[in-house]
Chains A and B, each alone.
Chain A
Protein backbone atom coordinates (compact mmCIF):
# COMPACT_ATOMS: atom_id res chain seq x y z
CA UNK A 1 0.00 0.00 0.00
CA UNK A 2 0.92 3.64 -0.27
CA UNK A 3 2.03 5.00 3.09
CA UNK A 4 1.46 8.62 4.00
CA UNK A 5 1.37 10.84 7.06
CA UNK A 6 -0.59 13.95 7.90
CA UNK A 7 1.00 17.33 7.44
CA UNK A 8 1.20 19.40 10.61
CA UNK A 9 -2.14 21.13 11.22
CA UNK A 10 -0.41 24.54 11.19
CA UNK A 11 0.78 23.90 7.63
CA UNK A 12 -2.73 22.89 6.57
CA UNK A 13 -4.26 25.96 8.21
CA UNK A 14 -1.69 28.17 6.50
CA UNK A 15 -2.68 26.75 3.10
CA UNK A 16 -6.37 27.45 3.59
CA UNK A 17 -7.56 30.95 2.67
CA UNK A 18 -10.02 32.63 5.04
CA UNK A 19 -13.79 32.77 4.62
CA UNK A 20 -13.98 29.88 2.19
CA UNK A 21 -16.07 26.73 2.20
CA UNK A 22 -13.77 23.75 2.65
CA UNK A 23 -14.60 20.18 1.70
CA UNK A 24 -12.31 17.65 3.42
CA UNK A 25 -12.18 14.45 1.37
CA UNK A 26 -10.74 11.20 2.69
CA UNK A 27 -9.77 8.04 0.86
CA UNK A 28 -10.90 4.65 2.17
CA UNK A 29 -8.03 2.61 0.75
CA UNK A 30 -4.27 2.85 1.47
CA UNK A 31 -4.32 5.97 3.64
CA UNK A 32 -7.10 4.49 5.76
CA UNK A 33 -4.94 1.48 6.52
CA UNK A 34 -1.98 3.67 7.46
CA UNK A 35 -4.26 5.83 9.62
CA UNK A 36 -3.52 9.05 7.77
CA UNK A 37 -6.53 9.99 5.66
CA UNK A 38 -9.53 7.68 6.09
CA UNK A 39 -13.02 8.37 7.36
CA UNK A 40 -11.88 8.66 10.99
CA UNK A 41 -9.08 11.06 10.15
CA UNK A 42 -11.51 13.16 8.09
CA UNK A 43 -13.78 13.48 11.15
CA UNK A 44 -10.88 14.54 13.35
CA UNK A 45 -9.57 17.01 10.73
CA UNK A 46 -13.04 18.46 10.17
CA UNK A 47 -13.55 18.98 13.90
CA UNK A 48 -10.09 20.57 14.27
CA UNK A 49 -10.68 22.99 11.38
CA UNK A 50 -14.11 23.95 12.74
CA UNK A 51 -12.69 24.70 16.19
CA UNK A 52 -9.52 26.45 14.99
CA UNK A 53 -9.60 30.23 15.30
CA UNK A 54 -9.00 30.68 11.55
CA UNK A 55 -12.24 32.00 10.06
CA UNK A 56 -13.45 29.45 7.52
CA UNK A 57 -16.95 29.86 6.09
CA UNK A 58 -17.82 26.19 6.37
CA UNK A 59 -16.04 22.87 6.80
CA UNK A 60 -17.63 19.60 5.71
CA UNK A 61 -16.11 16.15 5.46
CA UNK A 62 -16.65 13.08 3.34
CA UNK A 63 -14.68 9.99 2.42
CA UNK A 64 -14.74 8.00 -0.80
CA UNK A 65 -13.62 4.51 -1.76
CA UNK A 66 -10.56 5.57 -3.79
CA UNK A 67 -9.38 8.99 -4.88
CA UNK A 68 -7.14 7.42 -7.53
CA UNK A 69 -10.19 6.18 -9.42
CA UNK A 70 -12.49 8.52 -11.35
CA UNK A 71 -15.63 6.47 -10.88
CA UNK A 72 -15.53 7.10 -7.14
CA UNK A 73 -14.59 10.76 -7.47
CA UNK A 74 -17.69 11.54 -9.52
CA UNK A 75 -19.80 10.39 -6.55
CA UNK A 76 -18.96 13.62 -4.74
CA UNK A 77 -19.54 16.02 -7.65
CA UNK A 78 -22.46 17.65 -5.85
CA UNK A 79 -20.53 18.29 -2.64
CA UNK A 80 -17.55 19.54 -4.63
CA UNK A 81 -19.74 21.99 -6.54
CA UNK A 82 -20.85 23.57 -3.26
CA UNK A 83 -17.39 24.16 -1.81
CA UNK A 84 -14.65 26.68 -2.61
CA UNK A 85 -11.66 24.51 -1.75
CA UNK A 86 -11.02 20.79 -1.52
CA UNK A 87 -8.64 19.49 1.13
CA UNK A 88 -7.66 16.02 -0.02
CA UNK A 89 -6.57 13.51 2.60
CA UNK A 90 -5.38 11.04 -0.05
CA UNK A 91 -1.90 10.29 -1.37
CA UNK A 92 -0.41 12.46 -4.11
CA UNK A 93 -2.17 10.39 -6.75
CA UNK A 94 -5.55 11.13 -5.20
CA UNK A 95 -4.83 14.85 -4.90
CA UNK A 96 -3.91 15.03 -8.59
CA UNK A 97 -6.95 13.03 -9.65
CA UNK A 98 -9.21 15.33 -7.66
CA UNK A 99 -7.58 18.32 -9.39
CA UNK A 100 -8.26 16.74 -12.78
CA UNK A 101 -11.90 16.07 -11.97
CA UNK A 102 -12.59 19.46 -10.37
CA UNK A 103 -10.32 21.82 -12.35
CA UNK A 104 -12.24 24.90 -11.21
CA UNK A 105 -11.47 24.18 -7.51
CA UNK A 106 -8.14 24.48 -5.72
CA UNK A 107 -7.27 21.02 -4.35
CA UNK A 108 -4.86 21.10 -1.41
CA UNK A 109 -2.90 18.16 0.06
CA UNK A 110 -3.39 17.33 3.75
CA UNK A 111 -0.84 14.50 3.66
CA UNK A 112 2.77 13.92 2.75
CA UNK A 113 3.01 10.76 0.65
CA UNK A 114 5.97 8.70 1.81
CA UNK A 115 6.44 5.30 0.19
CA UNK A 116 5.05 1.94 -0.90
CA UNK A 117 5.30 -0.38 2.05
CA UNK A 118 3.79 -2.78 4.51
CA UNK A 119 2.33 -2.62 7.98
CA UNK A 120 4.86 -4.30 10.29
CA UNK A 121 2.83 -3.96 13.48
CA UNK A 122 0.83 -1.31 15.33
CA UNK A 123 2.15 2.09 14.27
CA UNK A 124 5.05 0.75 12.18
CA UNK A 125 5.26 0.87 8.38
CA UNK A 126 8.23 -0.21 6.30
CA UNK A 127 9.16 0.70 2.75
CA UNK A 128 9.41 -2.41 0.58
CA UNK A 129 9.20 -1.34 -3.06
CA UNK A 130 10.65 1.56 -5.07
CA UNK A 131 8.56 0.85 -8.13
CA UNK A 132 11.79 0.73 -10.14
CA UNK A 133 10.18 -1.07 -13.08
CA UNK A 134 12.75 -3.87 -13.16
CA UNK A 135 11.98 -6.40 -10.42
CA UNK A 136 14.80 -8.65 -9.22
CA UNK A 137 12.98 -10.34 -6.34
CA UNK A 138 13.43 -13.73 -8.05
CA UNK A 139 17.19 -13.40 -7.54
CA UNK A 140 17.06 -12.09 -3.99
CA UNK A 141 14.61 -14.46 -2.32
CA UNK A 142 11.77 -11.96 -2.22
CA UNK A 143 13.72 -9.21 -0.44
CA UNK A 144 14.34 -6.05 -2.45
CA UNK A 145 17.94 -4.83 -2.18
CA UNK A 146 17.18 -1.62 -4.08
CA UNK A 147 14.64 -0.59 -1.47
CA UNK A 148 15.76 -2.24 1.72
CA UNK A 149 19.54 -1.94 1.41
CA UNK A 150 20.34 1.59 2.53
CA UNK A 151 22.90 1.86 -0.27
CA UNK A 152 20.72 0.15 -2.86
CA UNK A 153 23.48 -2.33 -3.59
CA UNK A 154 22.84 -5.08 -6.10
CA UNK A 155 25.90 -7.06 -4.98
CA UNK A 156 25.97 -6.90 -1.21
CA UNK A 157 26.52 -6.87 1.63
CA UNK A 158 28.84 -3.94 2.10
CA UNK A 159 31.39 -3.65 4.93
CA UNK A 160 28.87 -1.87 7.15
CA UNK A 161 26.82 -4.94 7.92
CA UNK A 162 27.32 -6.18 11.47
CA UNK A 163 25.32 -8.76 13.43
CA UNK A 164 22.64 -8.60 10.78
CA UNK A 165 22.16 -4.87 11.19
CA UNK A 166 22.83 -1.97 8.84
CA UNK A 167 25.40 0.64 9.83
CA UNK A 168 23.01 3.41 8.82
CA UNK A 169 20.74 2.56 11.79
CA UNK A 170 22.17 -0.44 13.68
CA UNK A 171 19.41 -0.44 16.28
CA UNK A 172 16.41 -0.51 14.00
CA UNK A 173 17.45 -1.45 10.50
CA UNK A 174 18.10 -4.99 9.32
CA UNK A 175 20.83 -5.45 6.72
CA UNK A 176 18.85 -6.36 3.61
CA UNK A 177 21.74 -8.42 2.24
CA UNK A 178 21.98 -10.41 5.46
CA UNK A 179 18.24 -11.11 5.16
CA UNK A 180 18.76 -12.16 1.54
CA UNK A 181 21.67 -14.43 2.49
CA UNK A 182 19.72 -16.09 5.32
CA UNK A 183 16.65 -16.61 3.17
CA UNK A 184 18.61 -18.03 0.23
CA UNK A 185 20.45 -20.32 2.62
CA UNK A 186 17.20 -21.67 4.04
CA UNK A 187 15.95 -22.23 0.49
CA UNK A 188 19.21 -23.99 -0.41
CA UNK A 189 19.78 -21.40 -3.15
CA UNK A 190 23.02 -19.76 -2.08
CA UNK A 191 24.41 -20.35 -5.57
CA UNK A 192 22.27 -17.37 -6.70
CA UNK A 193 24.70 -15.13 -4.87
CA UNK A 194 27.65 -16.26 -6.99
CA UNK A 195 26.44 -14.38 -10.05
CA UNK A 196 27.52 -10.75 -10.29
CA UNK A 197 24.47 -8.61 -10.98
CA UNK A 198 24.89 -5.86 -13.59
CA UNK A 199 24.03 -2.25 -12.79
CA UNK A 200 20.33 -1.57 -12.80
CA UNK A 201 18.61 -0.29 -15.92
CA UNK A 202 17.21 2.91 -14.45
CA UNK A 203 15.59 3.84 -17.76
CA UNK A 204 12.60 1.83 -16.56
CA UNK A 205 12.36 3.90 -13.38
CA UNK A 206 11.02 7.40 -12.80
CA UNK A 207 13.96 9.28 -14.25
CA UNK A 208 12.54 9.20 -17.78
CA UNK A 209 9.50 11.23 -16.70
CA UNK A 210 6.09 9.95 -15.61
CA UNK A 211 5.75 6.32 -16.55
CA UNK A 212 2.75 5.01 -18.43
CA UNK A 213 1.35 1.51 -18.78
CA UNK A 214 -0.77 0.93 -21.85
CA UNK A 215 -2.33 -2.45 -22.49
CA UNK A 216 -3.92 -2.87 -25.87
CA UNK A 217 -5.59 -6.12 -24.80
CA UNK A 218 -7.82 -4.39 -22.25
CA UNK A 219 -8.59 -1.25 -24.25
CA UNK A 220 -12.22 -0.69 -25.19
Chain B
Protein backbone atom coordinates (compact mmCIF):
# COMPACT_ATOMS: atom_id res chain seq x y z
CA UNK B 1 0.00 0.00 0.00
CA UNK B 2 1.14 3.52 -0.72
CA UNK B 3 2.57 5.62 2.13
CA UNK B 4 -0.13 7.30 4.15
CA UNK B 5 -1.11 10.94 3.84
CA UNK B 6 -2.45 12.62 6.94
CA UNK B 7 -5.12 15.29 6.64
CA UNK B 8 -5.14 17.55 9.69
CA UNK B 9 -8.40 19.46 9.46
CA UNK B 10 -10.33 21.94 11.54
CA UNK B 11 -13.71 21.18 13.09
CA UNK B 12 -15.39 23.97 11.13
CA UNK B 13 -15.24 24.72 7.39
CA UNK B 14 -12.76 21.96 6.54
CA UNK B 15 -14.73 19.28 8.38
CA UNK B 16 -17.88 20.33 6.54
CA UNK B 17 -16.03 20.24 3.21
CA UNK B 18 -14.82 16.69 3.89
CA UNK B 19 -18.39 15.69 4.81
CA UNK B 20 -19.71 17.34 1.65
CA UNK B 21 -17.13 15.48 -0.41
CA UNK B 22 -18.31 12.20 1.05
CA UNK B 23 -22.02 13.05 0.59
CA UNK B 24 -21.35 13.79 -3.05
CA UNK B 25 -19.85 10.31 -3.44
CA UNK B 26 -16.23 11.37 -3.87
CA UNK B 27 -14.16 8.78 -2.05
CA UNK B 28 -10.53 9.21 -1.07
CA UNK B 29 -8.01 6.38 -1.51
CA UNK B 30 -7.35 4.37 1.67
CA UNK B 31 -3.92 5.89 2.31
CA UNK B 32 -5.61 9.10 3.51
CA UNK B 33 -6.01 9.37 7.28
CA UNK B 34 -7.69 12.26 9.04
CA UNK B 35 -7.04 14.04 12.31
CA UNK B 36 -9.35 16.71 13.64
CA UNK B 37 -8.37 19.80 15.60
CA UNK B 38 -10.74 22.51 16.84
CA UNK B 39 -8.87 24.95 14.58
CA UNK B 40 -5.81 24.58 12.36
CA UNK B 41 -4.30 27.43 14.38
CA UNK B 42 -3.26 24.79 16.92
CA UNK B 43 -1.16 22.91 14.37
CA UNK B 44 2.47 23.03 15.37
CA UNK B 45 5.80 22.09 13.84
CA UNK B 46 6.22 19.09 16.16
CA UNK B 47 2.92 17.55 15.00
CA UNK B 48 3.88 18.01 11.35
CA UNK B 49 7.47 16.82 11.61
CA UNK B 50 6.76 13.83 13.83
CA UNK B 51 4.00 12.59 11.53
CA UNK B 52 6.35 12.79 8.56
CA UNK B 53 9.11 11.11 10.50
CA UNK B 54 6.77 8.33 11.64
CA UNK B 55 5.91 7.25 8.12
CA UNK B 56 3.48 9.68 6.54
CA UNK B 57 4.48 10.58 2.99
CA UNK B 58 2.76 13.88 3.47
CA UNK B 59 0.66 15.99 5.77
CA UNK B 60 -2.10 18.20 4.43
CA UNK B 61 -3.36 20.91 6.74
CA UNK B 62 -6.93 21.68 5.78
CA UNK B 63 -8.37 24.91 7.10
CA UNK B 64 -11.23 27.30 6.47
CA UNK B 65 -11.07 29.72 3.57
CA UNK B 66 -8.93 32.78 4.13
CA UNK B 67 -10.83 35.47 6.06
CA UNK B 68 -13.45 32.88 7.03
CA UNK B 69 -11.73 31.23 9.98
CA UNK B 70 -14.14 30.87 12.88
CA UNK B 71 -11.22 31.57 15.21
CA UNK B 72 -10.22 34.77 13.43
CA UNK B 73 -6.85 33.88 11.91
CA UNK B 74 -6.04 30.32 12.99
CA UNK B 75 -5.80 29.21 9.36
CA UNK B 76 -3.28 31.95 8.58
CA UNK B 77 -1.17 30.98 11.58
CA UNK B 78 -1.27 27.38 10.35
CA UNK B 79 -0.15 28.55 6.92
CA UNK B 80 2.94 30.21 8.45
CA UNK B 81 3.83 27.06 10.39
CA UNK B 82 3.40 24.93 7.28
CA UNK B 83 5.66 27.33 5.38
CA UNK B 84 8.31 27.05 8.10
CA UNK B 85 8.24 23.23 7.98
CA UNK B 86 8.37 23.25 4.17
CA UNK B 87 11.47 25.45 4.33
CA UNK B 88 13.08 23.20 6.94
CA UNK B 89 12.43 20.05 4.87
CA UNK B 90 13.80 21.71 1.78
CA UNK B 91 16.94 23.05 3.50
CA UNK B 92 17.58 19.69 5.18
CA UNK B 93 17.35 18.00 1.78
CA UNK B 94 14.50 15.71 2.86
CA UNK B 95 13.07 13.92 -0.16
CA UNK B 96 9.81 12.07 -0.67
CA UNK B 97 7.94 13.99 2.02
CA UNK B 98 5.61 16.92 1.67
CA UNK B 99 3.49 19.24 3.75
CA UNK B 100 0.84 21.50 2.26
CA UNK B 101 -1.78 23.96 3.43
CA UNK B 102 -5.18 23.98 1.75
CA UNK B 103 -7.94 26.46 2.40
CA UNK B 104 -11.45 25.25 1.64
CA UNK B 105 -15.07 26.33 1.88
CA UNK B 106 -17.73 23.93 3.17
CA UNK B 107 -19.35 23.60 -0.28
CA UNK B 108 -16.16 22.74 -2.17
CA UNK B 109 -16.37 18.95 -1.90
CA UNK B 110 -15.49 18.17 -5.51
CA UNK B 111 -12.65 20.68 -5.77
CA UNK B 112 -11.20 19.43 -2.49
CA UNK B 113 -11.42 15.83 -3.69
CA UNK B 114 -9.53 16.69 -6.88
CA UNK B 115 -6.84 18.60 -4.98
CA UNK B 116 -6.29 15.79 -2.50
CA UNK B 117 -6.07 13.22 -5.31
CA UNK B 118 -3.40 15.34 -6.97
CA UNK B 119 -1.37 15.19 -3.76
CA UNK B 120 -1.66 11.43 -3.51
CA UNK B 121 -0.68 10.99 -7.17
CA UNK B 122 2.32 13.28 -6.73
CA UNK B 123 3.37 11.42 -3.57
CA UNK B 124 3.01 8.09 -5.35
CA UNK B 125 5.14 9.31 -8.26
CA UNK B 126 7.81 10.53 -5.85
CA UNK B 127 7.72 7.19 -4.03
CA UNK B 128 8.32 5.31 -7.27
CA UNK B 129 11.27 7.53 -8.12
CA UNK B 130 12.92 6.86 -4.74
- With beta carbons under 8 angstroms apart, the residue of B44, B50, B93 that contacts A47 is B50
In the complex, B1 has a CB within 8 A of chain A: no
Bitwise, A71-99 to B at CB < 8 A (1) or not (0) is 00000000000000000000000000000
In the complex, A51 has a CB within 8 A of chain B: yes
What's the least CB distance linking B90 to chain A, in Å? 9
Asked if A13 and B45 make an inter-chain contact with CB atoms under 8 angstroms apart, the answer reads no
Bound Cα distance A13, B89 (Å): 12
- State the majority secondary structure of interface residues on A: helix
Asked if B95 and A53 make an inter-chain contact with CB atoms under 8 angstroms apart, the answer reads yes
Bound Cα distance A30, B93 (Å): 29
Q: What residues on B are CB-neighbors of A54 within 8 Å?
A: 93
* Interface set, chain B 34-65, CB cutoff 8 A to A: 44-46, 49-50, 52-53
What's the least CB distance linking A83 to chain B, in Å? 19
What's the least CB distance linking A9 to chain B, in Å? 5
Q: How extensive is the interface on chain B, given as a class?
A: 10 to 19
In the complex, B91 has a CB within 8 A of chain A: yes
Asked if B89 and A48 make an inter-chain contact with CB atoms under 8 angstroms apart, the answer reads yes
Asked if A40 and B46 make an inter-chain contact with CB atoms under 8 angstroms apart, the answer reads yes
Bound Cα distance A207, B104 (Å): 58
Asked if A9 and B52 make an inter-chain contact with CB atoms under 8 angstroms apart, the answer reads no
Asked if B50 and A43 make an inter-chain contact with CB atoms under 8 angstroms apart, the answer reads yes
Asked if A52 and B45 make an inter-chain contact with CB atoms under 8 angstroms apart, the answer reads no
Bitwise, A5-41 to B at CB < 8 A (1) or not (0) is 0001110010000000000000000000000000010
Bound Cα distance A40, B93 (Å): 21
In the complex, A66 has a CB within 8 A of chain B: no
* Interface set, chain A 49-67, CB cutoff 8 A to B: 49-54
Bound Cα distance A50, B97 (Å): 13
Asked if B91 and A47 make an inter-chain contact with CB atoms under 8 angstroms apart, the answer reads no
Bound Cα distance A54, B53 (Å): 15
Q: What residues on B are CB-neighbors of A44 within 8 Å?
A: 45-46, 49, 88
Q: What residues on B are CB-neighbors of A40 within 8 Å?
A: 44-46
Which residue of chain A lies nearest to B91 when distances are taken between CB atoms in the complex?
A9
Bound Cα distance A52, B94 (Å): 5
Q: What residues on A are CB-neighbors of B89 within 8 Å?
A: 48, 51
Asked if A51 and B46 make an inter-chain contact with CB atoms under 8 angstroms apart, the answer reads no
Asked if A50 and B53 make an inter-chain contact with CB atoms under 8 angstroms apart, the answer reads yes
- With beta carbons under 8 angstroms apart, the residue of A8, A10, A51 that contacts B52 is A51
What's the least CB distance linking B96 to chain A, in Å? 9
- With beta carbons under 8 angstroms apart, the residue of B44, B46, B50, B92 that contacts A52 is B92
Given A9-B88, A40-B44, A40-B45, verify A47-B95 contact (CB < 8 Å). no
Bound Cα distance A44, B43 (Å): 13
Asked if B92 and A9 make an inter-chain contact with CB atoms under 8 angstroms apart, the answer reads yes
Q: 7 tightest CB-CB pairs across the interface, nearest first?
A: A47-B49, A47-B53, A52-B92, A51-B94, A43-B46, A9-B92, A9-B91
Binding site for B on A (CB under 8 A): 8-10, 13, 40, 43-44, 47-54
Known: A10-B92, A47-B49. 6 other contacts (CB 8 A): A9-B88, A10-B91, A40-B46, A50-B53, A52-B92, A52-B94
Binding site for A on B (CB under 8 A): 44-46, 49-50, 52-53, 88-89, 91-95, 97
